[in-house]
Structure formats: structure tokens, C-alpha cells
Amino acid sequence: MKELKRTKPVASLYEPPGGLLIWIIVFIEFITFSAGIIVFLYQQQQMPGEFAAARATLNKTIGTANTILLLTSGYFMAVALEAVRQNNNKAAVRNMLFTLFFGMGFLALKSVEYSQKLQHGHVLGSQPFYTFYWLLTGFHFVHVLAGVVIISYMAWAVKSFRYNSRNYDDLAMAAVFWHMCDLIWLFLFPTIYLLPS
């Protein structure tokens, strides 16, 4: 008699990948960042010249490099999750380390950019553009930092074989959180660095 292959049930609307709680958090985060972006764009319409002058002081090369770093880290996180689904924990850990490497690269490069802004007196409250710059990118920075901590723990847990093809919901939750950071940056980068005033 042929043995039937065991498959994990497909996630439903009521039980999405990573669980419902992380998706509620993602929804709240998107509402929060969307509100900030909308207010930023409104203020830009009120002071186009001031926003254009401030935007010209941003380092678009660093912004672009950070976008590449974050998207690359997201790719490796997706590969890591798939590796756990295939019970290949060694490959999962390797790809999670790549995720952390590129994620920390994002944080390091962003810190360099922050340092440059501080040296030139572009601090929180110095002018409307930089108030939004610090609030929006700073809040995102904290999210990426939290993601690095979470993924570091998950990499240790995967290495310890706490997760496998039948038990990876926590890892899926971490991946959803990390991809949320990617997606939010894809909205922040063009809004702050690229859009004409």
C-alpha cells in the first residue's frame, strides 16, 4: 500500500503565515507609517522650497545602498524560511546569517548617515523636513534593530533544531516582521529621498 505524503495545511485567512497576531501588528505599523507619510507630504505642499532645499542635502547614494542591503536581506530570510520547511536547518542558519549581515549593514550605513546629519546640525526640530526625516527613519531604524535581535535568536533556535518542517510558525512570524521592514522602507525611501517638492 502506497504511503500518503504528509503535507502542512494551507494557511487560511484566519490562520495566515506566522499567525494572526503578527499580521495585526503589521496592519497597525502600516497605519502608523502611512499617517506619518501623509502628514509629511501635506507639509511638503505647504513648504515646497524648504523641503526641496533640505532634500538636496540627503545622500541618495547611501539611501539607495540601504535599499539594496535591506532587500537583499529580505531575500535571504525568505530562503532561510523555505530551508526550514525542507528540514534543512544548516542551510537555514547560513541564510539567516546572511540576513543578519545585510541587515546590520543597513543599520551601520544608516548610522553613518545619521552621524553626517548631526555634524551638519540637521537634528530633530531643526526644521520641518528633518523633523519628519528623524521621526520616520528613526522609527524604522528601531524596527530593523528589533528585527536583527529577533532573527539572531531565531538563528540560534534553528541551529538548535527547535524548528523543523512541522514547527516553524515562530520563524514565519519573524520573517513576516522582517519583510514588513523591507516594505516600509520601500515607501520611505522614495518619499523622503526622491519625490520632487
As given in the structure block, the three cell numbers for residue 144 are: 530593523
- Residue 196 is predicted with a pLDDT of 80
Residue in 53, 73, 83 with CA at minimum distance from that of residue 151: 73
- Residue 5 is predicted with a pLDDT of 43
- Residue 197 is predicted with a pLDDT of 62
Residue 75 lies in a domain: yes
The parent domain of residue 183 ranges over 36-194
Residue in 85, 71, 145, 87 with CA at minimum distance from that of residue 111: 145
Q: How far is C-alpha 166 from the geometric centre of its chain's CA atoms?
A: 26
Residues lower than pLDDT 70 in the chain: 1-18, 197
Residue 19 lies in a domain: no
pLDDT tens-digit profile of 105-157? Answer: 999 999 999 999 999 999 988 899 999 999 999 999 999 999 999 999 999 99
> Residue 53's domain is classified under what CATH number?
1.20.120.80
Residue 64 lies in a domain: yes
- Residue 21 is predicted with a pLDDT of 84
Q: How many Cα atoms occupy the beta-carbon half-sphere of 152 within 13 Å?
A: 10
As given in the structure block, the three cell numbers for residue 125 are: 526640530
Residue 23 lies in a domain: no
Residue 12 lies in a domain: no
Residue 146 lies in a domain: yes
Cβ atoms within 10 A of the Cβ of 58, count?
A: 19
Residue 1 lies in a domain: no
Number of domains in the chain: 1
